[in-house]
Amino acid sequence: MKKILVVDDEPSMRAALSESLQSCGYEVETADDGRDALEKFRRNLYGVVITDMRMPRVGGMEVLTGIKKMSPATPVIIITAYGTVNTAVEAMRAGAVDFIMKPFSLEHLESVVSRVAETGGGGADDRGRDSKSGKDFITGDENMRQILDLMETVASARSSVLIQGESGTGKELLARYIHKKGIRAHMPFIAVNCAAIPANLLESEMFGYEKGAFTGAIQRKPGKFELADGGTLLLDEISEMDLQLQAKMLRVIQEGEVDRLGGRESIHVDVRIIATTNTDIRRAVEEKRFRGDLFYRINVIPVTIPPLRKRKGDIPILADLFLDHYSRLNGIERPVLTPAALSMLECHSWPGNVRELENVIERSVLLCSKGKILPDHLYLEYAMEGLAGVPGADAAGGGSGMTIKEMERDLIFRTLDKVKGNKAKASRMLGISVRTMRNKLHEYGMEN
C-alpha cells in the first residue's frame, strides 16, 4: 500500500482521516498546515497526498502546486467545505486527481483513495511510462508503435476514441498519451472508473448535483463532465455502465449539455470522450447489455492494444524500467536480471499483462539476494489464490519436494520479512488483499 500524507489544520479531522485510512491498511502521516506538508514531502516519499483547501500560512492550492513542481506524478486529493464549481475546476486543472466537498462520508473518501492508490489517478502509479515520469508509452513493438503514430495523428480531433484491450495492457496510459499529444493537453484530463463506482452514485458523479437534490446533498457539486470542460473525459470500463445511465450519457455526448441532478438549466460542456473496455463490447451490444447507439457514438476512432504475450519484445524493456524504478523507490542497489530469469519472463503468458509484470519485478527486487534476480525469485508459476493443480509449481519457489501450500506459506513469510512485517505492503506486492493476507496468517496460526 502507498504511504499517504494527510494535511488539515483541524486536529479532529486529521485524526479521523488518519484512523480511517489506517484501518484500510494504509501507512499514514499527517501535517497540520501546508508549510509543514511541503517540508515533509521534500524529505519523504508519499504515494498519495490528501489536503484541506483553507489552512493558515500555506493553503491547499499552494500545497498542490508545490507538490506538482517537486513530483508531477504524485496524486493530490483536495477536500474543502468552501467549494465552488470554479474552485473545483481550478484545482483539477492544477493537477488534483479529485475534489471532495465537506461533509463527506469516510466510506466515500476510502473509495476515492482506493481508486487513486490502485490506478495512480493519473499520478504516482503511471505504469509503463518513461522512467515513471509520465512522459510516454514505452514500447519497442512495431504494431504498438503504429498505434501510437495513429493516435498522435488524431490526438487533436474532437472525435471519440474507444480503446479496447485486456486488463493491465495500458488503456488508461494510452488515453493520457492521446490527451497529452493534442491541443487539449493544457486542459483537464478527468478519469472515471465506471466499474468502481456503484450505479446509484455514478450518475451524480458524472453530472453533478444541486443543493437539496437528494438527502445528503447539502451543497452544489460539479460533475466530472463540468470538471473536464475544455479537456478530456476518460470513461474507463464503460461497458460496466448501467443501461439507464447509458441513455443519459448518450444525450450529453450528442448535445454537449449536462443537467445536474436537481438542476433547472442545462450546462454547456466541451469535452473529448475517450472510453475503454476489457470486454467484447460488440457482443455486449448483441446481448442488449450495452446500447448500440452509444457504442457507435464512442466508436468513432477504435483501437485495440495487443496483450503483452503478443509483444514479447516489450518484456525486457519494461522489466528494465521497473527494475530502475523499484530499486530507487526502495533505496537499494539495482539488481541484475539474470538470463535465466529473463527467459522465464519471456516464456510466461502474462494474463495480467503489464500490471502483472510490474508486480513481479517489484516483488523480485525485494526478494532477490546478492544483487541477482534468479528464476526462483519470480514466483511465476502460480498465483496466491486458487493454487491447486498447477503443474510445475513445486519448482517455482526453488523448493523441490515442497507442497503448494508450503510454497505459498514460504512466499508470504519471505515477503513479510523483506518489508519488515508491513502487511499492507506485502499484500500489494503479492497481488492479494489485506484481508486475504490476514486470513492466511490466521490459517498459519500467526494472527488472531
Quick one: pLDDT at residue 83?
60
Nearest 5 degrees, angle CA 192-CA 196-CA 197?
A: 75
Q: Is 319 helix (H, G, I), strand (E, B) or coil?
A: helix
pLDDT score at 133: 33
Domain CATH code at residue 142: 3.40.50.300
pLDDT of residue 385: 38
Q: How far, rounded to the nearest angstrom, does the alpha carbon of residue 343 sit from its chain's CA centroid?
A: 29
**pLDDT above 70 coverage of the chain, percent:** 88
Q: What is the structure's pLDDT at 388?
A: 35
**Count of domains for the chain:** 3
H/E element, 304: strand 301-304
pLDDT on residue 86: 67
Q: Which pLDDT score is estimated for 120?
A: 53
- Can you say how many angstroms the Cα of residue 131 is from the centroid of all Cα atoms in its chain? 17
Residues 77, 193, single domain; the answer is no
Q: What angle do CA 47, 51, 57 make, to 5 degrees?
A: 125
Q: Write down the pLDDT at residue 402.
A: 57
C-alpha distances in Å from residue 107, one per residue of 21, 138, 432? 10, 36, 21
Kindly state whether residues 110 and 180 are assigned to the same domain.
Answer: no
Rounded to the nearest integer, the mean pLDDT of the chain is 82
Q: What is the DSSP letter of 122?
A: G
- Give, as one character, the DSSP assignment of residue 28: E
**pLDDT value of residue 381:** 53
Nearest-10 crossing angle of helices 339-347, 314-329 = 120
Question: Helix, strand or coil for residue 420?
Answer: coil
270 and 239 belong to one structural domain: yes
- Co-location of 135 and 88 in the same domain: no
Residues of the chain predicted below pLDDT 50:
1, 121-135, 382-400, 448
Indicate which CATH number applies to the domain containing 378: 1.10.8.60
Statement to judge: residues 299 and 326 lie in one domain: no
The C-alpha atoms of residue 208 and residue 197 are separated, in whole angstroms, by: 14
For residues 400 and 337, state if they share a domain. yes
Q: Does residue 291 sit in the same domain as residue 338?
A: no
CB contact at 8 A, 250 and 132: no
Among candidate residues 78, 97, 120, the one where a domain is terminated = 120
Give residue-wise pLDDT tens across range 355-376: 899 989 988 998 888 889 988 8
- Please tell me the pTM assigned to this model: 0.63
Give burial (CB, 10 Å; 0-12/13-18/19+) of 109.
buried
User: What's the pLDDT tens digit per position in 390-425?
Assistant: 333 333 344 445 565 777 787 888 788 877 788 887
Residue range(s) defining the domain that contains residue 425: 309-443
- pLDDT (tens digit, 9 = 90+) per residue, 152-210? 999 999 999 999 999 989 999 999 999 989 999 888 899 998 888 887 788 888 988 88
Tell me: do 104 and 140 sit in the same domain: no
Ranges assigned E (strand) in 21-85? 27-31, 48-52, 76-80
Instruction: Based on DSSP, count helices (H) and strands (E) in the chain, helices before strands.
Output: 19, 16
The whole-angstrom separation of Cα 231 and Cα 269 is: 10
Hey, what's the cell of 306? 495487443
In this structure, what CATH number is given to the domain that contains residue 65? 3.40.50.2300
